[in-house]
């Protein structure tokens, strides 16, 4: 009887060593009592992980880093953050992993569960050779008797002196943090500057990032943008939105969706409708569609503007609105947006107002060069184009605008002090935009401009939207004649 039991555990152990998916199925119950719905995506992700780790076990150069975007509640943390290291130790006892998340308590909880798996009777029966050292057995950092190690950390934390065979980041930021430019920069800097130096072998050690898409410049968006510009930066992006209404990557995975749903047993249309009703279209698009843009666009729908090649000559008024960046190469852009008002009356009972985006000047330069460009742009526009300058709060903003006014002597210049947050200021322009009242001249800047508007307020930059908001407000405000200039 004892021999038969030992043979059984040996057989199960061998099966689990060979297949990470089999391991996940067998050891699921050590940490979760409820039996899961074994949806197709679980095996797909397990096989993808195993393919990457087989190269690590053989000390072979990595093919790519992996970024997985998937809806909440789809067992991603169980697979990547809890069961991965216990399985890897059955194949490579000296395997070391760094596992991170956006919060310490979340990282520690997943680390505790991974340790519980290893110390469980079920695991020890199959893999008695894998033991955690009693003197190195904490929730944040535990080590086995063969040198294997699992290190828990959180976004922004230092990991001095630690190196891993695999770096696994599970949700580097949460939705609230994604709304903060400071938190976004913190997460991206940690991912691109701190973590790459924590590898045993930079050529072999891969990074696995599992997260919901939350912003155009979240860690997934940031890394994919860098990879577009650098062919040597090898990244695989798996995108598994809740429905086929959004982009699926790789595209062939669409064939596994049932009735247009990735996992109908857990995230059906009733669930998605409730998310939309309670949290809004933007949350649905980000967390379940894996796209920071709501379907059809957010505040500014991309299909609501008509792009023209010919500039009309009957504008009632044309202005250039400047949103100046405070520092050179500080992340923001200086933007000068030229917008015109055309009023059509012929054959119409009521006048039709059309707003034309005529030009966008966008750059990052030091103060002296910035003022030179603003002046040369004014000279090119001509004296009839009114100039508005956004004045930031504080004495520095006031002084900066005054310097520009002095620099633009001879032109019609006004300072503008915007009130309210960016979304509130953008709302009047977005209403007219989405009602097909905007036109735009075909030009090289169209793509960047439309991208920023489409992602707003989850766009990487917001300077062009600010300039549009300010320009539209200035163009439609009553004009003061006495002492206006």
| Position 483 pLDDT exceeds 80 | no
The pLDDT-based confidence of 158 (bands split at 50, 70, 90) is confident
In this prediction, residue 428 carries a pLDDT of 94
Q: What's the pLDDT tens digit per position in 229-247?
A: 898 999 999 999 999 999 9
The pLDDT-based confidence of 346 (bands split at 50, 70, 90) is confident
In this prediction, residue 293 carries a pLDDT of 78
Using N-to-C axis directions, what is the helix angle for 446-455 and 463-476, rounded to 10°?
Answer: 90
Q: CA-based angle 474:412:311, to the nearest 5? A: 65
Mean pLDDT of the chain: 92
In this prediction, residue 371 carries a pLDDT of 95
| Position 118 pLDDT exceeds 70 | yes
Q: What's the pLDDT tens digit per position in 358-388?
A: 999 999 999 999 999 999 999 999 999 999 9
Q: CA-based angle 238:244:250, to the nearest 5? A: 25
CB neighbourhood size of 237 (10 A)? 18
CB neighbourhood size of 383 (10 A)? 10
Token look-up 């929730």 returns 139
CA distance to 31, 48, 75, per residue, from 36 (Å): 12, 20, 9
414 SS3 class: strand
Q: What's the pLDDT tens digit per position in 188-226?
A: 999 999 999 999 999 999 999 999 999 989 999 999 999
Residues linked to residue 167 through DSSP beta bridges, in sequence order? 98, 207
Q: What's the pLDDT tens digit per position in 258-285?
A: 999 999 999 999 999 999 899 888 889 8
Q: What's the pLDDT tens digit per position in 410-440?
A: 999 999 998 888 989 999 999 999 999 999 9
In this prediction, residue 4 carries a pLDDT of 58
| Position 113 pLDDT exceeds 50 | yes
In this prediction, residue 481 carries a pLDDT of 52
Instruction: Order across the sheet with 166-170: list the strands.
Output: 132-137, 141-144, 149-154, 96-101, 166-170, 207-211, 65-70, 235-240
Q: What is the mean pLDDT of residues 304-316?
A: 95
Do residues 443 and 307 touch, judged by C-beta distance below 8 A? no
In this prediction, residue 5 carries a pLDDT of 62
CA distance to 170, 331, 349, per residue, from 185 (Å): 17, 10, 52
Domains and CATH numbers, the chain: 2-240 (3.40.50.300), 302-476 (3.30.420.280)
Rounded Cα gap, residues 98 and 381, in angstroms: 56
pTM of the model: 0.78
In this prediction, residue 297 carries a pLDDT of 54
| Position 398 pLDDT exceeds 50 | yes
The pLDDT-based confidence of 76 (bands split at 50, 70, 90) is very high
């Amino acid at each position: 009887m004892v021999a038969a039991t030992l043979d059984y555990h040996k057989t199960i152990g061998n099966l689990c060593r060979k297949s990470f998916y089999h391991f996940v199925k067998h050891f699921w119950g050590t940490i979760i009592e409820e039996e899961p719905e074994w949806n197709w995506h679980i095996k797909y992700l397990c096989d993808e992980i195993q393919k990457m780790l087989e190269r690590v076990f053989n000390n072979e150069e990595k093919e790519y880093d992996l970024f997985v975007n998937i809806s909440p509640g789809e067992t991603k943390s169980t697979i990547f953050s809890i069961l991965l290291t216990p399985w890897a130790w059955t194949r490579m006892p000296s395997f070391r992993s760094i596992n991170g998340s956006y919060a310490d308590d979340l990282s520690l909880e997943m680390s505790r569960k991974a340790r519980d798996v290893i110390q469980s009777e079920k695991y020890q029966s199959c893999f008695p050779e894998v033991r955690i050292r009693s003197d190195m057995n904490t929730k944040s950092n535990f080590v086995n008797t063969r040198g294997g190690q699992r290190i828990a950390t959180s976004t922004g934390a230092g990991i001095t002196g630690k190196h891993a065979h695999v770096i696994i980041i599970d949700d580097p930021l949460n939705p609230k943090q994604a709304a903060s430019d400071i938190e976004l920069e913190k997460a991206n800097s940690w991912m691109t500057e701190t973590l790459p130096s924590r590898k045993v072998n930079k050529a072999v050690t891969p990074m696995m990032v599992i997260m919901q898409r939350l912003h155009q410049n979240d860690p997934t968006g940031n890394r994919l943008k860098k990879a577009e510009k650098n062919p040597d930066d090898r990244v695989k992006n798996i995108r598994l939105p809740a429905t086929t209404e959004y982009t699926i990557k790789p595209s062939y995975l669409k064939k596994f969706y049932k009735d247009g749903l990735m996992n109908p047993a857990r995230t059906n249309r009733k669930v998605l409708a409730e998310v939309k009703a309670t949290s809004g279209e933007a949350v649905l698009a980000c967390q379940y569609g894996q796209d920071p843009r709501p379907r059809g666009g957010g505040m500014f729908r991309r299909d609501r503007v008509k792009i023209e090649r010919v500039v009309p000559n009957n504008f009632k008024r044309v202005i250039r609105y400047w949103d100046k960046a405070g520092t050179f190469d500080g992340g923001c852009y200086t933007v000068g947006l030229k917008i015109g008002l055309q009023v059509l009356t012929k054959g119409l009972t009521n006048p039709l107002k059309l707003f034309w985006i005529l030009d966008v000047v966008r750059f990052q330069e030091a103060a002296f060069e910035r003022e030179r460009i603003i002046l040369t742009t004014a000279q090119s526009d001509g004296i009839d184009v009114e100039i508005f300058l956004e004045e930031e709060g504080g004495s520095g903003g006031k002084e900066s605008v005054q310097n520009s006014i002095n620099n633009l002597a001879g032109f019609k210049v006004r300072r503008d002090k915007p009130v309210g947050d960016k979304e509130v200021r953008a709302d009047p322009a977005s209403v007219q935009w989405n009602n097909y009242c905007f036109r735009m001249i075909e030009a090289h800047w169209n793509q960047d401009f439309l991208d920023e508007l489409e992602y707003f307020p989850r766009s990487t930059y917001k300077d062009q939207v600010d300039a549009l908001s300010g320009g539209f407000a200035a163009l439609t405000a009553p004009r003061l004649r006495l002492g206006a200039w």
